[in-house]
């Protein structure tokens, strides 16, 4: 069966992908969804759109998972009607959107996940301290720390790999995971220039699985395959696993609309929002490894779907 759903997940140049999204001037905006943004959310969006298409075969969906940083300009320029981000829009992005469109973007808290630390399964280490994270991944002095950690022996004197150098792996600057990690784990400082940057979360896990001396941060939903996920010792000295409610690197993930929910009534955007907020949509979210966000006054899926009706 031919599907109208087009998954553009491997675009080499983000601007080319956005250009492709508007190449057909005859598209009916009520029957087309163009979703640009987060690599972390690409698997969930793919699962959602496949099921959505089975129920709404007249609506074409394009997913461009080129990184969270691609979402704000695509929404601002009108080359996407939905944007996914693994961080919130920053003030500069919101201001640019308002300056261009004259309105606020609609922010929906979509889900929660965690940023985790992963190693090769042969590595005997079980947890990292927040101090060690800053000294491994950040530039000297990050978060007020003193001195970098470059070898496994410096991390743990009893580590059997001794002076073997830690191969530090991270994400590229267009990634929302990169920006979240910089803010939350590195106190807003710069990641080290020595980090091997990889564009996709799946690529991070694959690289760690091949390199025994590697250490990386990753979205929890990409931390699968032949890798080991570490716990974190928090500032109080408690060792916390990523599944725990008080894990220090839990985060919210976002869906943005270029228009208001009131204006989106009767469009493909609202049809999609109503589906993903349904029992079937929530089941897909949970099975994809994400959690529902706490209700704290923010606009969540249920509220967005209700506003569409």
| pLDDT tens by residue, 102-160 | 999 999 999 999 999 999 999 999 999 999 999 999 999 999 999 999 999 999 999 99
Terminal C-alpha separation, the chain: 32
Least Cα distance to 68 among 30, 91, 37, 99 occurs for 37
Counting every residue written for the chain, the total comes to 309
Question: Residue 246: how many CB atoms within 10 A of its CB?
Answer: 9
Fold of 114-250: D-Maltodextrin-Binding Protein; domain 2 (3.40.190)
Contacts of 170 (CB under 8 A, 6+ apart): 137, 178, 181, 191, 195, 196, 197, 198, 204, 216, 217
Q: In the prediction, which pLDDT does 29 show?
A: 55
Q: What is the mean pLDDT of the chain?
A: 90
Residue 2 clears pLDDT 60, i.e. is over it? no
Give the model confidence (pLDDT) of 260-307 as tens digits. Answer: 999 999 999 999 999 999 999 999 999 999 999 987 889 999 999 999
Give the model confidence (pLDDT) of 66-100 as tens digits. Answer: 999 999 999 999 999 999 999 999 999 999 999 99
| Dist CA 90 CA 146 (whole Å) | 30
Is 279 within 8 Å of 101 (Cβ atoms)? Answer: no
Angle formed by the axes of helices 279-287 and 268-276, to 10°? Answer: 70
Per cent of the chain over pLDDT 70 is: 90
Pairing of strands 167-171, 60-64: unpaired
| Dist CA 278 CA 32 (whole Å) | 20
Which homologous superfamily does the CATH classification assign to the domain defined by 6-112+252-308? Periplasmic binding protein-like II (3.40.190.10)
| Dist CA 304 CA 45 (whole Å) | 17
In the chain, beta strands by DSSP E: 6-8, 32-37, 60-64, 82-85, 106-119, 127-129, 167-171, 196-198, 214-219, 228-229, 231-233, 239-240, 250-257
Domain edges within the chain = 6-112+252-308, 114-250
Interior angle at CA 14, CA 8 and CA 208, nearest 5: 75
Least Cα distance to 193 among 140, 155, 145 occurs for 140
Contacts of 5 (CB under 8 A, 6+ apart): 49, 50, 53, 60, 61, 62
Question: Tokens representing 114?
Answer: 């965690």
Same fold, 6-112+252-308 and 114-250: yes
Residue 10 clears pLDDT 60, i.e. is over it? no
Q: In the prediction, which pLDDT does 297 show?
A: 85
């Amino acid at each position: 069966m031919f599907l109208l759903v087009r998954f553009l997940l491997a675009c080499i140049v983000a601007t080319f992908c956005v250009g492709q999204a508007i190449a057909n001037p005859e598209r009916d905006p009520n029957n087309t969804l163009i979703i640009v943004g987060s690599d972390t959310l690409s698997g969930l969006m793919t699962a959602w759109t496949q099921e959505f298409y089975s129920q709404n075969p007249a609506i074409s969906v394009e997913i461009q998972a080129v990184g969270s940083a691609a979402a704000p300009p695509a929404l601002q320029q009108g080359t996407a009607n939905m944007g996914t981000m693994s961080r919130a829009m920053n003030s500069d992005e919101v201001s640019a959107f308002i300056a261009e469109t004259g309105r606020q973007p609609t922010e929906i808290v979509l889900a929660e996940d965690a940023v985790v630390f992963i190693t090769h399964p042969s590595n005997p280490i079980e947890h990292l301290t927040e101090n060690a994270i800053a000294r491994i991944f950040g530039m000297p002095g990050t978060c007020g720390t003193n001195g970098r950690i470059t070898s496994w022996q410096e991390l743990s004197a009893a580590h059997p790999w001794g002076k073997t150098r830690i191969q530090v792996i991270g994400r590229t600057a267009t990634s929302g995971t990169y920006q979240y990690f910089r803010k939350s784990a590195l106190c807003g400082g710069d990641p080290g220039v020595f980090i091997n940057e990889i564009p996709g979360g799946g690529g991070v896990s694959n690289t760690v699985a091949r390199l025994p001396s590697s250490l990386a941060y990753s979205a929890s939903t990409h931390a699968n395959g032949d890798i080991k996920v570490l716990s974190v010792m928090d500032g109080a000295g408690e060792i916390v696993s990523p599944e725990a409610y008080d894990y220090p690197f839990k985060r919210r993930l976002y869906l943005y609309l270029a228009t208001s929910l009131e204006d989106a009534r009767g469009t493909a955007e609202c049809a999609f929002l109503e589906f993903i907020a349904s029992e079937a949509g929530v089941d897909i979210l949970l099975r994809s490894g994400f959690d529902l966000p706490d209700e704290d006054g923010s606009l969540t899926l249920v509220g967005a779907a209700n506003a569409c009706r």
